[in-house]
Amino acid sequence: MGKSPKGKGKGSKGKSKSPNSKGSKGKNVPEEPPIERGMQTDPDSFCYMCCVEFSDGAAIQAHTLLMDHRPPYDISHQRCRGCKETVFMKWAEKHKCCLAKAAYLRHISSNVSLPGGPPYRCLFCRSRPFNSRSELTVHLLAYHRPQRQPGVCGMCSFTFTEPLPPPPPPVPPPPANADEATLQQYTKDVKKVAELRMCEFEYAEVAPGLLDLHNHCARVHVPAYTLLLRQKLLMDFHLREPFACVICGQVFNSNVEYHAHIICRHATDIAVKEELRICSICSKGIRSEDCFNQHVKRRHEEPIAHLADLWISRELMMNAVDAGQVCTTCWEVLPNATQLQAHILVAHTSTNPLVCGWCNLEFTAYPDPLVAFPIFLNHERNHARVLHSQALESKRTFDPVPELLNEDFSAEAIAAMLAAQAEGDASKSSKSPKSKSGKSKGKGKDKSKGKSSPKKKK
């Protein structure tokens, strides 16, 4: 077992009484750097399928996307999915297809390609990060829709506790007979104080009501948009661009343009208004898609751009991503490198969004794909357990292997899951959204539902 870093003889005089310090004072044995649980001291650029170190996260993603790891190929010889050549593992990173793909991924994840921040951070909510671009899209439609009723989800009738508005800034009001210059200065001072208040640390905490809305969207709305994106990615390569709209497929140049497009184009209260190109903010009808984008750019992007500049200047957000944690194909954020590599192998090496690219297991038997997709996500996370075990063996992590998730795809198991979900929704709707007891019961049911007896596939 490694010695504590507090046992160094030259550390501090007050720690000389430690029993470890006596034995380590006269030795020149180098000590391992302290590794805090859940944190990495170095970027993780290790392929857990091949047990080979790469230069960076972009090279890992290019290798995982292009190299076929399945039999008859092994860790010594692999086949490139791009040019169909068999590549010796020693030269896999230097292969022409991997070099080109890694260069593209480095470019698309740098600050050159991500003005206004990455496509999973909400510019309205103090650059709050989400788990994917699809989840950010759902959040914009469910919470920031202009015509949304207070306390009601913008995509359905789900109710939650609306957060209280912030108190007015402590700026003395102008006199009643103030001139126009004084009123303009007062408006600037109020805006400046409000921006400084938003940057304070206590405003980073998400309100309980918004957490309820977030959990509701993650369970009800996000899987549909995620499945839609994965299906479209198989046909439209341009959707891999960071600011490509999940709904209509248009590609934009910045996170500011993406936010403005989602709010103005797809956040209308009536579906026919979206077909008629009616702006959801100013209710102005536009005759063509190009004119609509110009209207949004001239009229509605400036305040959003100001917020993006504010978060970047205050170092609350970076306009770059870590390719060791963010999938640059669908822009989903994974908690660690093992889950990222499993996600790429399962989701982005298959020709069907409900067929596993790792083991070719199909989840297409059930007629409703929205019911099968959450089970497919459990299957994806269970594959990550294999890579997590490899990380434990190579001492690259100290976290225990996650529990096995439910993969039972039988009709009885799906019926029981839907019944439990309907029962949980009914119990939540019967309670007032401001009642804490109703929320705690709903959360308890969600936890018990997730602990259903798993069925191990082999």
The encoded tokens of residue 378 equal: 């459990």
Greatest CA separation found in the chain?
A: 84
Is 2 a residue whose pLDDT tops 70? no
Confidence class of residue 30 from pLDDT cuts 50, 70 and 90? low
Same domain, 147 and 96: no
State the DSSP code for 348. S
User: What is the pLDDT, as a whole number, of residue 51?
Assistant: 87
Cis peptide before 174 (omega within 30 of 0): no
User: Which of 58-67, 82-91, 244-253, 428-437 is the least confident region?
Assistant: 428-437
Helix (H, G, I), strand (E, B) or coil at 40: coil
Same domain, 284 and 152: yes
80-137 pLDDT tens trace: 999 999 888 888 889 999 999 999 999 999 999 999 999 999 999 999 999 999 999 9
User: How many Å apart are CA 363 and CA 418, to the nearest integer?
Assistant: 17
Nearest to residue 136, comparing CAs of 308, 262, 231, 270? 262
User: How many Å apart are CA 130 and CA 127, to the nearest integer?
Assistant: 9
Residue 85 falls inside a structural domain: yes
Higher pLDDT among residues 81 and 73, named by residue: 81
As a whole number, the mean pLDDT across the chain is 83
Check: CB of residue 45 under 8 Å from CB of residue 55: yes
Same domain, 159 and 304: yes
Is 22 a residue whose pLDDT tops 60? no
User: What is the pLDDT, as a whole number, of residue 28?
Assistant: 57
Residue 180 falls inside a structural domain: no
Is 178 a residue whose pLDDT tops 60? yes
Higher pLDDT among residues 36 and 193, named by residue: 193
User: What is the pLDDT, as a whole number, of residue 353?
Assistant: 95
The encoded tokens of residue 404 equal: 């096995």
User: How many Å apart are CA 435 and CA 161, to the nearest integer?
Assistant: 9
Same domain, 267 and 134: yes
Higher pLDDT among residues 359 and 14, named by residue: 359
Q: Tell me, what amino acid is at 37?
A: R
Residue 447 falls inside a structural domain: no
pTM for this structure? 0.81
Residue 40 falls inside a structural domain: no
Residue 216 falls inside a structural domain: yes
Nearest to residue 374, comparing CAs of 384, 383, 363? 363
Is 59 a residue whose pLDDT tops 90? yes
Alpha-carbon separation of residue 78 from 89, 101, 245, 384, 427 (angstroms)? 7, 17, 35, 21, 53
User: How many Å apart are CA 44 and CA 237, to the nearest integer?
Assistant: 27
Is 180 a residue whose pLDDT tops 90? no
| Bridge pairing between strands 326-327 and 86-88 | unpaired
Number of domains the chain contains: 3
User: What is the pLDDT, as a whole number, of residue 220?
Assistant: 94
Same domain, 296 and 337: no
Confidence class of residue 11 from pLDDT cuts 50, 70 and 90? very low
User: How many Å apart are CA 81 and CA 97, to the nearest integer?
Assistant: 9
Same domain, 341 and 277: no
Is 444 a residue whose pLDDT tops 60? no
Nearest to residue 430, comparing CAs of 193, 159, 182? 159
Same domain, 73 and 126: no
Residue 230 falls inside a structural domain: yes
Higher pLDDT among residues 399 and 423, named by residue: 399
User: What is the pLDDT, as a whole number, of residue 192?
Assistant: 87
Same domain, 263 and 306: yes
User: Token pair 């497919």 is at which residue?
Assistant: 376
Confidence class of residue 451 from pLDDT cuts 50, 70 and 90? very low
Percent of the chain with pLDDT over 90: 56
User: What is the pLDDT, as a whole number, of residue 212?
Assistant: 96
Check: CB of residue 63 under 8 Å from CB of residue 93: yes
Alpha-carbon separation of residue 41 from 33, 36, 38, 396 (angstroms)? 9, 8, 10, 10
State the DSSP code for 30. P
Same domain, 103 and 125: no
290-334 pLDDT tens trace: 999 999 999 999 999 999 999 999 889 998 899 989 999 999 999
Confidence class of residue 23 from pLDDT cuts 50, 70 and 90? very low
Nearest to residue 363, comparing CAs of 413, 435, 422? 413
Residue 193 falls inside a structural domain: yes
Residue 19 falls inside a structural domain: no
User: What is the pLDDT, as a whole number, of residue 321?
Assistant: 92
226-277 pLDDT tens trace: 999 999 999 998 999 999 999 999 999 999 999 999 999 999 988 888 889 9
Is 442 a residue whose pLDDT tops 60? no
Q: What is the 3-state secondary structure (H, E, C) of 45-62?
A: CEECCCCEECCCHHHHHH
Domain of 387? 326-428
| Bridge pairing between strands 121-122 and 46-47 | unpaired
User: What is the pLDDT, as a whole number, of residue 431?
Assistant: 54
Classify residue 126 as left (phi > 0), alpha (psi -120 to 50) or beta.
left
